[in-house]
Amino acid sequence: MCAFLELYCTQPLLPLLAHIFHASKTGVSLTVSAATLGVAISAPVFGALTERLPRKRVIVVSIIGVSLPTLLAATATSLGQLIFWRFLQGILLPGIVAVVVTYIGEEWPADRVALIMSFYVSGTALGGFLGRVTSGMLAEAFNWRVSFLTLGAVSLAGAAAVAAWLPHGHRRVRMTTPGGALPAFPYQVQGLFRNRRLVATFAVGFNVLFSLVGVFTWITFHLSAAPFLLSTTALSSLFFVYLIGLVVTPAAGYLITRVGLRAGIGGAIVCSMAGVLLTLAPSLTVVILGLTLLSSGVFVAQTASQSHLRVAAPPGTRVTAAGLYLTCYYLGGTAAGVVPGFFWGLGKWPACVAFIVAMQAVALTIALAGWRVPKADEDRTFVPATVQNP
């Protein structure tokens, strides 16, 4: 929850920021893309470095680290300064998310990873919801600076809670080279990119976040214009649909343990595609239903993808694999904050929807093809941490 309080907090503020800073839609959307770009750049570095460090210590220090530029963002006097602080937030974020994903894979039995991962993803959904709703409501009631001050303070409190409650890991697996030393970062990356299933997972991750950020960033401009004319508070209220994900994702995590990761990712992406298409409706009720289906599908897809990382990555390289996954995942979010602007210029929201659905279709194809394994391996989808999958 702490990790995602700030990451997307400017999404409901975009029309307001465009007015305050006299900036273009694409210009203010960089307040979203800068944060996700920071994650994409630093994720593999954090992965390589924290392979050697205590998991809990890295998580707590990173939460504190993300809180500081959040507080400093409230001091920004220009759009450029705000974008800089948002970028720094993203740089520090992988110390939380990459390590937590690996921590889950190490500390729970293999047959429960997908279920536990679904609870983690629900926590990220709660954080994303609280960050967006809080920022929008505080910005309208007071000003946008109060939004950043509040989120930074809450994040610091969260760091204290994690420091007090999170147990130290006890089931960590280390991989060494024949000489006894931990493998160097380039060695690890080279080996991971030879893994077909991992490469497919990285590509799916790119597309999964692309659809979520693309829709929730650019639909704010669509819904703030006629005939909807939603206010900043109303736009932030759209993220109440994330609460549905808090219920759907754990239930889906349990289902994935029964039907398998490949079937789970396929169903999740199809659900997301249907949701994006529903946002074309002239009815706000139908649009909200579409956003609900989209976000729920993305949360389930994220659960399946992160669980698949644990299966496909060899022991001792899982933080590095998680870091590379985050790089691809947040590159998708970065592109989604900017690239749909070209299609907005061509045909506004309908053109954006057509492009995003096409990207989702690509993700579905990659998942179904890239995650296919022989029956013997499929029966061992959930295996002990000491077993290395091909």
The 10s digit of each residue's pLDDT in 95-148 is: 888 788 778 878 888 778 878 888 888 888 889 889 989 999 999 889 999 999
**pTM score, whole prediction:** 0.73
Confirm if 67 and 345 have CB atoms less than 8 A apart: no
pLDDT of residue 104: 85
Residue 379 has pLDDT above 50, yes or no: no
Domain boundaries, the chain: 2-165+185-378
- Rounded mean pLDDT, 346-365: 94
Q: Using H for helix, E for strand and C for coil, what is the string for the chain? A: CHHHHCCCCCHHHHHHHHHHCCCCHHHHHHHHHHHHHHHHHHHHHHHHHHCCCCHHHHHHHHHHHHHHHHHHHCCCCCHHHHHHHHHHHHHHCHHHHHHHHHHHHHHCCHHHHHHHHHHHHHHHHHHHHHHHHHHHHHHHHCCHHHHHHHHHHHHHHHHHHHHHHCCCCCCCCCCCCCCCCCCCHHHHHHHHCCCHHHHHHHHHHHHHHHHHHHHHHHHHHHHHCCCCCCCHHHHHHHHHHHHHHHHHHHHHHHHHHHHCHHHHHHHHHHHHHHHHHHCCCCCHHHHHHHHHHHHHHHHHHHHHHHHHHHHHCCCCCHHHHHHHHHHHHHHHHHHHHHCHHHHHHHHHHHHHHHHHHHHHHHHHHHHHHHCCCCHHHHCCCCCCCCCCCC
Higher pLDDT among residues 119 and 83, named by residue: 83
Share of the chain above pLDDT 70, in %: 87
- Rounded mean pLDDT, 345-354: 94
Average pLDDT, the chain: 83
**Residues 6+ away with beta carbon under 8 Å from 336:** 33, 209, 210, 211, 212, 213, 214, 217, 356
pLDDT tens for residues 52-72? 778 888 899 999 999 999 999
pLDDT of residue 103: 85
- Rounded mean pLDDT, 353-361: 95
pLDDT tens for residues 283-316? 999 999 999 999 889 888 888 887 887 777 776 6
For domain 2-165+185-378, the CATH architecture is Up-down Bundle (1.20)
pLDDT level of residue 50 (50, 70, 90 thresholds) = low
pLDDT of residue 48: 67
pLDDT tens for residues 231-250? 888 888 888 887 887 777 77
pLDDT level of residue 173 (50, 70, 90 thresholds) = low
pLDDT level of residue 373 (50, 70, 90 thresholds) = low
Look at residues 331, 337, 339, 332 and name the one whose alpha carbon lies nearest to residue 42.
Answer: 331
pLDDT tens for residues 148-168? 999 999 999 999 999 999 988
- What does the alpha-carbon distance between residue 147 and residue 6 come to, in Å, rounded to a whole number? 10
Share of the chain above pLDDT 90, in %: 37
pLDDT of residue 174: 53
**Residues 6+ away with beta carbon under 8 Å from 207:** 332, 359, 360, 362, 363, 366
pLDDT of residue 101: 79
pLDDT of residue 178: 45
Residue 325 has pLDDT above 50, yes or no: yes
CA dist list (Å): 385 to 49, 295, 300, 310, 332: 21, 31, 23, 8, 29
pLDDT of residue 95: 86
Q: Using H for helix, E for strand and C for coil, what is the string for 74-88? A: CCCCCHHHHHHHHHH
pLDDT level of residue 46 (50, 70, 90 thresholds) = confident
pLDDT of residue 171: 59
- What are 345's two structure tokens? 């210029």
pLDDT of residue 111: 79
